[in-house]
Chains A and B, each alone.
Chain A
Amino acid sequence: MNVGYVELAIGSILISNLVLAKFLGLCPFFGVSRRTSDAVGMGLAVVFVMSIASAATALIYRHLLLPTTPEHTNLLGALGLPVPEGGYVLILKTISYILVIAVLVQFVEMVLRKTVPTLYRALGIYLPLITTNCAVMGIALLNTEAWRDPANGLPVHLATFNGFCGGVGFLVAMLLMSGIRERLAELPVPKAFKDLPIAFISGGLMALAFMGFANLFGIAV
């Protein structure tokens, strides 16, 4: 199926929301959503990291890991190295993704610190914190999922856009959660449920609500 921008946007923000449908990135979701100001900072950092991570991993997937196809060439094959039947996908996918994401975030952190110190300070500690967050890794892996493009994974520009939308979905979920939690903090919650337990229950209810988006506009998954 040839996916377009709209399908990817609705799919990643509403239908397959990373936090509420796929249950990825729960650590920052519950850890940073006590105050809306923190939640926004975290969400924006995640959008940023997911976009660039998706771009980098899509490049690696299409041009290093997959064998040569009509749509793209494997750079290693072009250099004359032996490329197995299914490419290097099975062996190298996870570890090369982690390597790329970690390096990229470090690099971006260094550049930001030098060039835009205000943005660096605004994102603060969140940037290194989400380097190997499972949600970032998750969106990188999901970009190659079957429903999006069976044989080749998403092309780089679509993968980047999908990463961006995944981040936006994460931001939306964080904003909703922080709004709820700021109110919950003032309400008479039973002592055993205060803070995290009631937050988990609320998160579960939010996930139930988001299930209503399944198959929106006929978009599968």
Chain B
Amino acid sequence: MSDPVVTYLVAAAAVLGALAVAFAVLLATAHRFFRVHVDPRQEKIEEILPGANCGSCGYGGCAAYAEAVAKGEAAPDRCTPGGPECALKIAEVMGVQVSGFLPKVAVIKCQGSCEYTGDRFRYVGEADCRAATATQYGQTACPYACLGLGSCVRACPFDAMVMDEATGLPRVLEEKCTACGTCAEVCPKNIIEILPKEQYVHVLCRNKDPGKAVRQVCKVGCIACRRCEKVCPVDGSAVHVNDNLAEVDMDACINCGKCVRACPVNCIGDFRQLRKDAQKRAEADAA
């Protein structure tokens, strides 16, 4: 090793070292002056959250929700993909109690399969429900119906929806559904709603046209005959017909299923058997 090389190497190392020290000082002072006070609980909560940034809590992502919870602005149980365990852990961090967590699931409020309804015209275009809606409200005979092009299925971040080939309608795989709300947002007809799992009875139609018009386009569309209202055992009826469409009042409904059997067009769905079977399967798997 000749002398000049050693000198230059040492000098180079010294220069780099000096640069590094200078930068370290710069960053340290910057950290002191530009410090933003972050609640340590906020970081803990961010770690607990699933990190899917789906927005079902109502905030723009997990970081925003964690901030709101740490500030005390949001309840700890708003994260539906996180579920009850996540809500409990967040409540622990914040030192609050979290009361019963309400599991929700996506419900598709349309039964207009190929069997019951048809198309007004043949749609040839991008296979996306939103694109189809832009074309004369979509190709289905009923203007409120599901278009069956599968935008919701593709949008689901948890693979909890499948397109039923036989009926042409999407189907929710309730065990996988985390009620994040992405499908509901994507659907251009607003057919999908995120509703509590404990509510079994839903009116599976969105058509607000008078009964006669509905009969012309769909065999299972609500005709507003009000028979459901009349048979409901609840005082004041738990199902109301507004704007030619029946709708279940979830606070009053006792899930007895009388309206389901009374409906002459079978447009009210009962999810009891489906969900009880799923629960039995889940318990059997756990055992």
The answer to whether B36 touches A113 (Cβ under 8 A) is: yes
Is chain B's binding surface mostly helix, strand, loop or mixed? Answer: helix
Whether A91 contacts B30 in the complex (CB less than 8 A), given A99-B20, A113-B36, comes out as no
Q: Choose, from B7-15, B186-194, B214-222, B249-257, the stretch at the interface.
A: B7-15
Number of interface residues of A (CB under 8 A): 23
The answer to whether A110 touches B34 (Cβ under 8 A) is: yes
The answer to whether B30 touches A82 (Cβ under 8 A) is: no
The answer to whether A107 touches B11 (Cβ under 8 A) is: no
Among B15, B23, B34, contact of A113 (Cβ-Cβ < 8 Å): B34
The answer to whether A103 touches B16 (Cβ under 8 A) is: no
Q: Is B285 an interface residue (CB 8 A)?
A: no
The chain B residue with its CB closest to the CB of A64 is B15
Is chain A's binding surface mostly helix, strand, loop or mixed? Answer: helix
Number of interface residues of B (CB under 8 A): 23
Say how far A131's CB is from chain B's closest CB, in angstroms: 13
B:32-66 near A, CB below 8 Å: 33-36
Contacts of A117 in B (CB 8 A): 36
Among A64, A84, A111, A113, contact of B8 (Cβ-Cβ < 8 Å): A84
Whether A82 contacts B7 in the complex (CB less than 8 A), given A107-B30, A110-B31, comes out as yes
Contacts of B8 in A (CB 8 A): 82, 84, 88, 91
Q: Is B19 an interface residue (CB 8 A)?
A: yes
Whether A107 contacts B27 in the complex (CB less than 8 A), given A88-B12, A114-B34, A114-B36, comes out as yes
How far apart sit A115 and B31, CA to CA, in the bound complex (Å)?
A: 13
Q: Is A96 an interface residue (CB 8 A)?
A: yes
B:95-139 near A, CB below 8 Å: 126-128
How far apart sit A81 and B9, CA to CA, in the bound complex (Å)?
A: 12
Say how far B145's CB is from chain A's closest CB, in angstroms: 21
Contacts of A111 in B (CB 8 A): 30, 34
Say how far B59's CB is from chain A's closest CB, in angstroms: 12
A:46-73 near B, CB below 8 Å: 64
Q: Which of B4, B12, B20, B128 has the most CB of A within 10 A?
A: B12
The answer to whether B34 touches A95 (Cβ under 8 A) is: no
Q: Is A180 an interface residue (CB 8 A)?
A: no
Among B14, B20, B36, B128, contact of A186 (Cβ-Cβ < 8 Å): B128
Contacts of A96 in B (CB 8 A): 16, 19
Q: Is A92 an interface residue (CB 8 A)?
A: yes
Q: Is A76 an interface residue (CB 8 A)?
A: yes
How far apart sit A197 and B11, CA to CA, in the bound complex (Å)?
A: 49
Say how far A216's CB is from chain B's closest CB, in angstroms: 35
8 A–B contact pairs at CB < 8 A?
A: A76-B15, A84-B4, A88-B11, A99-B16, A99-B20, A100-B23, A110-B30, A114-B35
